Amino acid sequence: SYVLSQSPSVSVAPGETARITCGAGNIRTKSVHWYQQKSGQAPVLVIYYDDHRASGIPERFSGSKSGNTATLTIDAVEAGDAADYYCQVWEDTSDHLWVFGGGTKLSVL
Amino acid sequence: EEQLVESGGDLVHPGGSLRLSCVVSGFTLSAYDLSWVRQAPGKGLEWVSTLNGRGDRTFYADPVKGRFTISRDTSKNTLYLQMNSLGAEDTALYYCAKNQGSGSYPFASWGQGTRVTVSS
């Protein structure tokens, strides 16, 4: 089955740039979506189709893809950005349909 | 405003059954794919099942295939997840989510979840 690999955790100081990666062998052929989940809350879509910001998401959030890796970048990180972030792809070559990465916990120091 | 409200979560014994409901408002059920996603305590998101907008195709993750059934009642604006032969590994918070469209569109709206605990 298709596997998306995310680092378990990323830590940055306020004002710095956070980069959260999502790796898979042929991710260049997939559309990647990113979700933010704050503690005790439902997930929220932040980036869709690799690099499109969802409604209401600050411009500090951006998405990109290169080689076997998709990246969620958060510029000028704020304390309120602390959350778990998940990548997701639609795996239409099988009946498994949707795959989530394991999630990355962003800590703001 | 779009809303999805899950219910039906409970404590159930291993081998038992449960039916989850997700009442939606602010959009037409038949215009979008709808999905169930679960999150075990302290773990990540896991896709469970999707029903396409036309209501004629269902998809399931391997761990639930043959045990869970997704369905809907458009007259009640409600999505369901019938869960049978439950095991401890099914303990999780279950979210329903609205796909932004069909196919590869992302999950644009989520409910707050309903908790299922499988324990003796």
d(CA A90, CA A8): 22
Look at B106 and A88 and tell me if their CB atoms are within 8 Å.
yes
pLDDT value at A95 more than 80? no
Place of tokens 């510029």: A75
Residue B117, classified by CB atoms within 10 Å of its CB into exposed (0-12), middle (13-18) or buried (19+), is: middle
DSSP characters for B56-86? --EEE-GGGTTTEEEEEEGGGTEEEEEE-S-
Chain A positions with Cβ closer than 8 Å to B: 1, 31, 33, 35, 37, 42-45, 48-49, 54, 84, 86, 88, 90, 92, 95-103
**pLDDT class for B103, splitting at 50, 70, 90?**
confident
Check if the beta carbon of residue B73 is closer than 8 Å to that of residue B34: no
Task: Name the residue facing B44 among A33, A86, A98 (closest C-beta).
Answer: A86
**pLDDT class for A91, splitting at 50, 70, 90?**
confident
Looking at residue A96, its pLDDT comes to 63
Q: Tell me: the pLDDT tens digits for B25-79?
A: 999 999 999 999 999 999 999 999 999 999 999 999 999 999 999 999 999 999 9
CA distances B107 to A48, A49, A84, Å, are 9, 12, 16
Q: Tell me: the pLDDT tens digits for A56-78?
A: 999 999 999 999 999 999 999 99
> Over pLDDT 90: what percentage of chain B?
94
Task: Name the residue facing B113 among A35, A42, A103 (closest C-beta).
Answer: A42
